[in-house]
Structure 1
Amino acid sequence: MMIYPTIELQNGHCVSLNRGRLDDPLIWHVDPVDKARSFAEDGAAWLHVTNFDWMTDSEDSTGIVQDIILHAGIPVQLGGGFRSVETIAQWIDKGAGRIVVSSLAVHNPTLVKQAAKRFPDQIVVAVDVYKGGLMSDGWKSTAAITPADFIAAFDEDPLAAIIITDIDNDIEDSDGSLGMITQLADGARAPVIARGLSRSLDDIARLKYVPHIAGAIIGRALFDKSIDLCDALAVAGARPGPTAQFI
């Protein structure tokens, strides 16, 4: 299972959002580019970056995103309110390894399908789920389509991955999160990356045994040191132990 250490940017700072609220960020006083390099030095193969400034049409962190892509030393999976194929193409040309789309896929799936065909294995669709519903527009709106049907709509497209976020768990530490992601992952054809479920090494160990889960995104837990990245990579990369056979 792949571990994706995450850097979330707002106003030039590394941040974590409280319940998805852009107006209430927790600021981490570290240099974003140095942090990206440290994740690579610890052994991460990919880095996930989200620029919240783009969601409000601000360019404050754009230069930092470019510096991370150029200097992190590992490929970057980049999200942050992409709204057109042209913008997707610009950032792929600038070196982003993958582009993550969320609300764009809900509101204009045809455009995302076009992007996936133009950039095979470089487009990632994010599926944000709250109380069983598919959310969009920064977790503010509930889509008419179910998460399962939304995922199925991209079955024939050459996506790099699907990110599934259980917002219930991100907000309330829901006990049903693992079951929900297990069910959705089982119906997905693209590799599934789980977000919002990795707060401890035990969480990572459990995720590793969920069928069709190819990766886990970890953000806040790395910054507040609830999880050490080297330990997380070791757990995710360890081979499963022997299983007792029942007669």
Structure 2
Amino acid sequence: MILYPAIDLKDGKAVRLVHGDMDQTTVFNDDPAAQAKEFVAAGCSWLHLVDLNGAFAGEPVNAAPVEAILKACPVPAQLGGGIRDMATIARWIDKGLARVILGTVAVENPDLVREAAREFPGKVAVGLDARNGFVATRGWAEETDVQVTDLARSFEDAGIAAIIYTDILRDGAMKGPNIAATEALARAVDIPVIASGGVSSMDDLKALKDTGVIAGAISGRALYDGAIDLSEALSLLK
């Protein structure tokens, strides 16, 4: 199971939100590239980046810090937030991004996800963000009547690299991930599922790993707060 340290970008800084609320922001580092280098130095094999402003704007906003991270760090990175057309996808992949995460467009324009996955094999993931089992879009501001499992199954034949499943009510709250829902999703589809939201302790990581079906976990606040020691966590997951 791969551990993805998270760097959430707002106004050019590395921050964490609570429940995706842009008004509940904690700044952890004014220099996101320096933060990324710290994670790489600790041994991580991937980075997870989110353009929070971009998720609301519908287009990339924090491109400069993302590009700085890509230049500074030798490990692959995945990015979500405001990526909603083929031109933006192509531009990011050209800049060295290993994987784009498509969230809102997975609901609003699933054909784009399929086209992108064909055009860029292995480089397209779908971000499914859910509140009480239903998908939320546009920076989690809009709720839909689409069930997570139904949407995930609809991409079974699309060739996407991964599904990143976030339980919004757990995100940034340090209350543990929704292991049961994440495991159920991972068992419902053949696509690798990455857990996100609430991963806040070594016990959480062990429980996710012990399911035997969850491919990865994303953690942010717990790494910044020191609740999870990154080097120790990476050793556990090996």
Determine helix, strand or coil for the equivalent of 1:33.
helix
1:25 to 2:4 alignment:
no
Decide whether the 8 Å contact of 2:176 with 2:201 is kept in 1: no
Structure 1 residue runs without a partner (length 5+):
238-247
Determine helix, strand or coil for the equivalent of 1:121.
coil
1:223 to 2:211 alignment:
no
Deviation at 1:60, TM superposition (A): 5.6
Alpha-carbon distance in structure 1 between the residues aligned to 2:231 and 2:173: 27
1:69 to 2:61 alignment:
no
Deviation at 1:171, TM superposition (A): 6.9
**More off after superposition, 43-52 vs 19-28:** 19-28
Q: Match of 1:242? A: none
Bigger Rg, structure 1 or 2: 1
Cα gap change, 1:45 to 1:29, in 2 (>3 Å):
closer
Residue-by-residue CA offset, 1:63-121 (whole Å, 9 max, x unaligned): 11101011112111111111101100000001100001111111000111100110111
Aligned length: 237
Alpha-carbon distance in structure 1 between the residues aligned to 2:56 and 2:177: 32
Residue-by-residue CA offset, 1:185-233 (whole Å, 9 max, x unaligned): 1012111100014100010011001132010001111111111100110
* Root-mean-square deviation (Å): 1.8
- Which letter does structure 1 place at the counterpart of 2:54? W
> Identity over the aligned pairs, expressed in percent?
37
Determine helix, strand or coil for the equivalent of 2:169.
helix
TM-score (norm 2): 0.93
Q: Match of 2:38? A: 38
For residues 1-247 of structure 1, the aligned pairs below 5 Å read: 1-57=1-57, 61-170=62-171, 177-237=178-238
Residue-by-residue CA offset, 1:13-44 (whole Å, 9 max, x unaligned): 11001221123311113421111111111111
Structure 2 residue runs without a partner (length 5+):
none
Alpha-carbon distance in structure 1 between the residues aligned to 2:53 and 2:34: 20
TM-score (norm 1): 0.90
Deviation at 1:54, TM superposition (A): 1.8
Alpha-carbon distance in structure 1 between the residues aligned to 2:89 and 2:32: 22
Cα gap change, 1:54 to 1:168, in 2 (>3 Å):
closer
Determine helix, strand or coil for the equivalent of 2:65.
helix
- Which letter does structure 1 place at the counterpart of 2:188? G
Deviation at 1:175, TM superposition (A): 8.0
